[in-house]
């Protein structure tokens, strides 16, 4: 096992800088998820760690050793790709054993490690099949098994579930989590899916345009987002944002008003605000509570209702023409055009010093 340190890591393709001075410290045995929208640099960063791309600046350490100039095979990492990358003419057994065969491991060692990986991934009955006889989830397990038998110091996963349907994504995600608990090896996982990030990670690193927006434990990022981007990216449905102005502020409380609401006292948190400052009020959809008599601070009309079984998602157009989304109990019945009013606990609201 090995910890990983990235210090001021940069990557340029020609004149375009895609990774901009990234600093990340990954503890030995930690499960870290790089998450962000397409094009944010998360897969590029993973390839830099793997040695599949040369860094343009900075330093990468794995297990305390600088690996900037080492070949991928010398870094002690194993990578699982989005595209499976397994050989169609080989059986599952041969695919899993391929890396060991190339290393000229003895037959007994190969058989032992393949059997152990197959047991761990519940593939004992698939070893003599070929990839064409497997489902997408089974093929992905073969790719994971091929990585497991190498006993790497670090596992790297590049969006391994993106080709699977919803049911397979869930089951394979659980298998990866179980694998980490069994192996206790450092794992870095790249995804654009914030549900995968929240459920798998010990630490989430949120990336945008090649920079780290915030890094920390999943629930820390969920409850204490550093900025509007992180707040909007984590959580489903996304956090509601409402433009406001600061009426007055002290060390603990900020009173805000805006076209959609007025006279709300919100916790200041660690940010500091001044009277007259433009700010953004953030409210998670799950925090909105219907008010039957219409006296809530947020009032509008229903635009769309989506009943998901476990909850009802309601899109609302406020009187200010701002839009918000509320996540309500599953038995809530509302129709487009219905007048609605919402209240929320200001202690659970977020106030950002960035204007929309």
* pLDDT of 149 higher than 70: yes
Percent helix, percent strand, percent coil in the chain, to nearest 5: 30, 35, 40
- pLDDT cut 70: percent of the chain above it: 99
Which tokens hold the place of 104? 């000229």
Instruction: Please give the pLDDT value at position 83.
Output: 78
* pLDDT of 82 higher than 90: no
Q: Residue 236 gets which letter from DSSP?
A: S
Cα 347 from chain centroid (whole Å): 26
Distances (CA, A) of 284 to 70, 232, 241: 45, 9, 9
Give the C-alpha separation, 81 to 112, whole Å. Answer: 25
Q: How confident is the model at residue 320 (pLDDT cuts 50, 70, 90)?
A: confident
When the pLDDT of each residue in the chain is averaged and rounded to a whole number, the result is 91
Choose among 188, 170, 152: nearest CA to 72: 152
Which tokens hold the place of 85? 């990358």
φ and ψ at residue 93, rounded to 5 degrees: -60, -45
Choose among 80, 85, 53: nearest CA to 67: 53
Q: What is the mean pLDDT of residues 318-328?
A: 90
* pLDDT of 102 higher than 90: no
| H or E element, residue 313 | strand 311-318
Q: What is the mean pLDDT of residues 32-42?
A: 94
Give the C-alpha separation, 111 to 117, whole Å. Answer: 10
Instruction: Please give the pLDDT value at position 199.
Output: 92
Q: Are 38 and 192 in contact (CB under 8 A)?
A: yes
Instruction: Please give the pLDDT value at position 23.
Output: 97
Instruction: Please give the pLDDT value at position 259.
Output: 84
What's the residue count for the chain?
356
* pLDDT of 1 higher than 70: no
Condensed to tens digits (0 to 9), the pLDDT of residues 154-176 reads 999 999 888 778 777 888 888 88
* pLDDT of 329 higher than 80: yes
Condensed to tens digits (0 to 9), the pLDDT of residues 202-255 reads 999 999 999 999 999 999 999 999 999 999 999 989 999 999 999 988 877 888
* pLDDT of 141 higher than 70: yes
Q: Are 63 and 76 in contact (CB under 8 A)?
A: yes
* pLDDT of 271 higher than 90: no
The pTM of this model reads 0.90
Lowest mean pLDDT among 31-35, 67-71, 176-180: 176-180
Give the C-alpha separation, 251 to 304, whole Å. Answer: 39
């Amino acid at each position: 096992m090995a910890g990983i340190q990235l210090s001021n890591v940069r990557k340029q393709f020609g004149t375009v800088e895609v990774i901009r001075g990234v600093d990340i410290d990954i503890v030995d045995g930690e499960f870290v998820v790089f998450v962000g929208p397409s094009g944010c640099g998360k897969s590029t960063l993973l390839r830099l760690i793997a040695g599949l791309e040369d860094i343009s600046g900075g330093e990468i350490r794995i297990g305390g050793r600088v690996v900037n100039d080492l070949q991928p095979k010398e870094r002690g990492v194993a990578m699982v790709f989005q595209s499976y990358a397994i050989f169609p003419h080989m059986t599952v057994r041969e695919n899993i054993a391929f890396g060991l065969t190339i290393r000229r491991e003895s037959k007994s060692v190969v058989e032992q490690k393949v059997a152990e990986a197959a047991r761990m991934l519940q593939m004992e009955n698939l070893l003599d099949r070929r990839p064409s006889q497997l489902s997408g989830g089974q093929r992905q397990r073969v790719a994971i098994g091929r990585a497991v038998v190498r006993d790497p110091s670090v596992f790297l996963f590049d969006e391994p579930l993106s080709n699977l349907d919803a049911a397979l994504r869930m089951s394979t995600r659980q298998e990866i989590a179980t694998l980490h608990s069994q192996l206790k090896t450092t794992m870095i996982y790249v995804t654009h899916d914030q549900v995968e990030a929240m459920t798998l990670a010990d630490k989430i690193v949120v990336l945008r345009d090649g920079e780290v927006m915030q890094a920390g434990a999943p629930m820390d990022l969920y409850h204490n987002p550093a900025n509007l981007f992180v707040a909007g990216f984590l959580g489903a449905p996304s956090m509601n944002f409402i433009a406001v102005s600061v009426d007055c502020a002290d060390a603990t409380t900020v009173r805000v008003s805006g076209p959609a609401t007025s006279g709300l006292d919100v916790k200041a948190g660690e940010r500091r605000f001044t009277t007259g400052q433009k700010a953004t009020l953030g409210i998670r959809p799950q925090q909105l509570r219907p008010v039957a008599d219409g006296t809530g601070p947020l009032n509008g009309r229903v635009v769309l209702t989506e009943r998901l079984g476990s909850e009802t998602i309601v899109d609302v157009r406020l009187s200010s023409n701002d839009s918000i989304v509320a996540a309500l109990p599953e038995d809530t019945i509302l129709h487009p055009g219905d007048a609605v009013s919402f209240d929320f606990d200001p202690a659970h609201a977020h106030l950002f010093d960035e204007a929309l």
